[in-house]
Amino acid sequence: MTNLQIALSVLCAVLAALLVVLIVRDRRPGRFTYALLALVELGLVAQLVLGLVRVLDDHQGVSVAVYVGYLVGALVILPLAAGWAWAERSRNGVAVLLVGVLVVPVLFVRLHDIWSTHV
């Protein structure tokens, strides 16, 4: 995994812990939570650009469509989860956001598996 993926995974873990506290306390996410989400999303945009450069440069058997699909999937999962959490004014909305945050590192592991098996 790249340093960016590791840093974003750690940030997702911190964000997940914060979301668990919000779920237990039955609170809505605030500006700080959404600011952390925006920071992760900014990192995901950088990951998309770096991933596209990587796959366009030398991909030696890597399925470009699958790799780009995972890159784009990682990019869109948080806005979808945040929108759902914003619309759902209960503990369940925060839980959806938690699931979205936990999916991002899993997608990073999958991206690493796709790249490392072929290159």
Helices (H), 26-63: 31-57
How does pLDDT run along the chain (119 residues), one tens digit per residue? Answer: 789 999 999 999 999 999 999 999 999 998 999 999 999 999 999 999 999 998 888 778 888 899 999 999 999 999 999 999 889 888 899 999 999 999 999 999 999 998 888 66
Radius of gyration of the chain (CA): 15
pLDDT at residue number 44: 96
Report CA 37 to chain centroid distance, whole Å.
9
pLDDT at residue number 119: 60
Q: In this structure, are residues 57 and 84 in contact, taking their beta carbons and an 8 Å threshold? A: no
Residues contacting 88, CB < 8 A, separation 6+: 96
Helix (H) or strand (E) segment spanning residue 73: helix 64-87
Q: Which residue has the tokens 């990073």?
A: 108
